[in-house]
């Protein structure tokens, strides 16, 4: 479904060029859910944005569904296959467009017919009722906004969904709702996920395999089962595990 | 906002009154949603007493301009040298000028000219500014450089001096005064629109629209303009007073409306010679300019409350 090899992404011109991603490579099979983990600044979101075509400065090879992506503008077929859900639902919805306007425009851009029926169905799919249809983003909570953003991503009926920390800007209780919704949608629409997160437990919950990134490089790719069993080979993965374990242990420990 | 008392979940229950229908938090159609949003904006605006005062003054001004021939007691051009420079009285409420013309009638007819100038400038300048500013901000690179340097050139001259130069080159008349004012008023709007565009263009919602295959023109018109327009409208409403004064200034200098047209600035200019002995000749049109400028300022303040998207988050 998606195959990335030797991907380099950089920002800026030569004297102060920053190499955000160096020689990244991984494959995602159809129907798989693949996670990218790493600390802040490790380049995991940059990989996603480069795949989506939002960063023009990259080299290497990105193949989606067998089609080689070139630098520059993506074509219509790409937008129909790949969609993205952004990290911050407060920034990813136009403040002056109602839910209805967002979905209607998206459907029109994607050349869909029967737009009214599709909007109704999309809202049902993401668990928002019809009463939300004409609301503006400022009338919605963070979780509701993220549902709208997911509905927008699903409007094109894509097969690959890029998820850029879709829950990190949300409350803990809402995080679980959104993760469950994403899991349900994947089963229902047979979607392939490429999910970025700094949270190992989210990746463990959502993904089949994951890649661990550190300072722009992929240090290890392993199945989630191996991660759980502690069969990681790279020392950095163990560090990450220990960090999240330690945090959890501290949290669980009763106050002295 | 108060929620409609009817249950929003059941589409069968029809809201009872028109107010409930407008304020329903679960509109059934696009039309209802749009009307509801307008009504909510109106409620916000109405809560601002001073802005309402400005609106009332402007509605009266527009009414006055439309009905000028019927409500003016005399013709604005009728001269009566026997009655020249009469103080305000029952016969001439605001007195008469040096040629014995009724000042009230001239003010009423002059509102048409004022509205024409202000309306045209307020339509042309922000549109030029919006276009240049958003294109510069969105395109970036050399397009941005070229457009902003042109803007800087215009900004480098004092507005009125530049307008004077334009009018002097084109010949004095109302049409040319409007053109000159519009050509000198757009650069601040372009700057404003560009600054707004720069904050918006890398936003995630623009990236999301791009991922749906939206072209640059659609992004510019459908996504960036709506966010720039509200601040521009507010800025225009606040600048209206300045535009009226600039137009009056051109009229005062004899480069705008030509006599005997009853343009307010030209009327002040006429009264200048008698300002110490016959104060009303200059004071009455001055008062009119002051009232209308203030009304636009108050309206602008009220519009800012309604239109500012940042206010929505509170």
- Over residues A1-46, the pLDDT tens digits come to 898 988 999 888 888 888 889 989 999 999 999 999 988 888 889 9
> pLDDT grade, residue B36 (50/70/90)?
confident
Which is more confidently placed, A145 or B2? A145
Q: Which residues neighbour A172 within 8 Å (Cβ) at sequence distance 6 or greater? A: none
Rounded CA-CA distance B312/A123 in Å is 24
Chain A residues in contact with B21 (beta carbon < 8 A): none
Contact B203 A131 (CB under 8 A): no
Contact A100 B33 (CB under 8 A): yes
Minimal CA separation from B203 to chain A, in Å: 7
**Chain A residue with minimum CA distance to B310:** A95
Q: Which of A131, A146, A158, A164 to substitute to test the interface with B, most B CBs within 10 Å?
A: A131
pLDDT at A71: 66
Q: How far is CA B40 from CA A159, B235, B236, B307, in A?
A: 40, 22, 22, 11
pLDDT at A162: 93
Q: Residue B2 pLDDT more than 70?
A: no
Q: Decide: A118 and A155 in contact? Cβ < 8 Å.
A: yes
Contact A92 B205 (CB under 8 A): yes
pLDDT at B6: 44
Instruction: Please give the average per-residue pLDDT across A154-162, as a whole number.
Output: 91
Out of A165-174, B122-131, B155-164, the most confident range is B122-131
Task: Give the ipTM.
Answer: 0.86
Rounded CA-CA distance A157/A110 in Å is 9
Could you tell me if A83 lies within 8 Å of chain B, comparing CB atoms? yes
pLDDT at B267: 87
pLDDT tens digits, one per residue of B199-238: 998 889 999 998 888 888 999 999 999 888 888 888 888 8
pLDDT at B3: 45
pLDDT at A72: 64
Q: Structural domains in chain B?
A: 1-47 (no CATH), 50-76+102-313 (1.10.3720.10)
> pLDDT grade, residue A96 (50/70/90)?
confident
Q: Structural domains in chain A?
A: 2-252 (3.40.50.300)
Instruction: Please give the average per-residue pLDDT across B183-211, as a whole number.
Output: 91
Mean of pLDDT over chain B: 84
Mean of pLDDT over chain A: 86
Minimal CA separation from A42 to chain B, in Å: 20
* Helices B225-252, B174-200: crossing angle, 10 deg rounding: 150
Rounded to 5°, the CA angle A86-A91-A94 comes to: 105
pLDDT at A83: 92
Contact B222 A95 (CB under 8 A): no
The pTM score is: 0.81
* Minimal Cβ distance to A134: which of B33, B203, B209: B33
Minimal CA separation from A248 to chain B, in Å: 32
Instruction: Please give the average per-residue pLDDT across A183-196, as a whole number.
Output: 92
Instruction: Please give the average per-residue pLDDT across B283-293, as a whole number.
Output: 90
């Amino acid at each position: 479904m998606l195959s990335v090899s030797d991907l380099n992404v950089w920002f800026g011109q030569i004297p102060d060029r920053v190499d955000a991603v160096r020689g990244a490579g991984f494959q995602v099979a159809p129907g798989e859910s693949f996670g990218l983990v790493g600390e802040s600044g490790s380049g995991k979101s940059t990989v996603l944005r480069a795949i989506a075509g939002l960063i023009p400065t990259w080299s290497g090879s990105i193949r989606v569904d067998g089609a080689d992506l070139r630098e520059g503008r993506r074509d219509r077929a790409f937008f129909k296959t790949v969609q993205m859900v952004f990290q911050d639902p407060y920034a990813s919805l136009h403040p002056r467009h109602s839910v209805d306007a967002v979905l209607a425009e998206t459907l029109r851009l994607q050349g869909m017919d029967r737009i009214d029926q599709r909007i109704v169905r999309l809202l049902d799919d993401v668990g928002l009722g019809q009463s939300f249809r004409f609301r503006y983003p400022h009338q919605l909570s963070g979780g509701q906004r993220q549902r709208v953003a997911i509905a927008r991503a699903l409007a094109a009926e894509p097969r690959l969904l890029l998820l850029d920390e879709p829950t990190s800007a949300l409350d803990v209780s809402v995080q679980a709702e959104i993760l469950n919704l994403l899991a349900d949608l994947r089963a229902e629409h047979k979607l392939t996920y490429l999910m970025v997160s700094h949270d190992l437990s989210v990746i463990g919950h959502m993904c089949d395999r994951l890649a661990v990134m550190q300072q722009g490089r992929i240090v290890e790719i392993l199945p989630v089962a191996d991660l759980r069993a502690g069969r990681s080979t790279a020392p950095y993965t163990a560090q990450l595990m220990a960090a999240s374990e330690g945090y959890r242990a501290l949290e669980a420990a009763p106050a002295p | 906002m108060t929620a409609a008392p009817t249950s929003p979940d059941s589409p069968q229950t029809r809201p009872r009154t028109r107010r409930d229908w407008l304020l329903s938090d679960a509109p059934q159609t696009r039309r209802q949603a749009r009307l509801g949003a307008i009504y909510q904006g109106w409620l916000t605006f109405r809560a601002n007493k001073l802005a309402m005062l400005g609106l009332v003054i402007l509605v009266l001004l527009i009414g006055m301009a439309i009905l000028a021939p019927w409500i003016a007691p005399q013709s604005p051009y009728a001269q009566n040298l026997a009655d020249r420079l009469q103080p305000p009285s029952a016969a001439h409420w605001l007195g008469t000028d040096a040629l014995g013309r009724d000042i009230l009638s001239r003010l009423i007819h002059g509102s048409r000219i004022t509205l024409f100038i202000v309306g045209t400038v307020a339509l042309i300048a922000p549109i030029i500014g919006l276009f240049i500013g958003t294109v510069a901000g969105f395109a970036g690179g050399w397009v941005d450089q070229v457009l902003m340097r042109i803007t800087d050139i215009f900004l480098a001259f004092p507005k009125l001096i530049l307008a004077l130069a334009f009018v002097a080159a084109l010949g004095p008349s109302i049409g040319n005064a409007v053109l000159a004012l519009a050509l000198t008023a757009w650069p601040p709007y372009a700057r404003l629109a560009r600054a707004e565009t720069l904050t918006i263009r890398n936003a995630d919602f623009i990236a999301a629209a791009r991922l749906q295959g939206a072209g640059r023109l659609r992004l510019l018109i459908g996504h960036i303009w709506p966010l720039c327009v509200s601040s521009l409208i507010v800025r225009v409403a606040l600048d209206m007073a300045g535009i009226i004064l600039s137009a009056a200034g051109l009229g005062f200098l004899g480069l705008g409306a030509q006599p005997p047209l009853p343009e307010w600035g030209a009327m002040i200019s006429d009264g200048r010679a008698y300002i110490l002995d016959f104060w009303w000749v200059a004071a009455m049109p001055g008062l009119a300019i002051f009232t209308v400028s203030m009304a636009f300022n108050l309206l602008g303040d009220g519009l800012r409350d309604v239109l500012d998207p940042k206010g929505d988050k509170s």
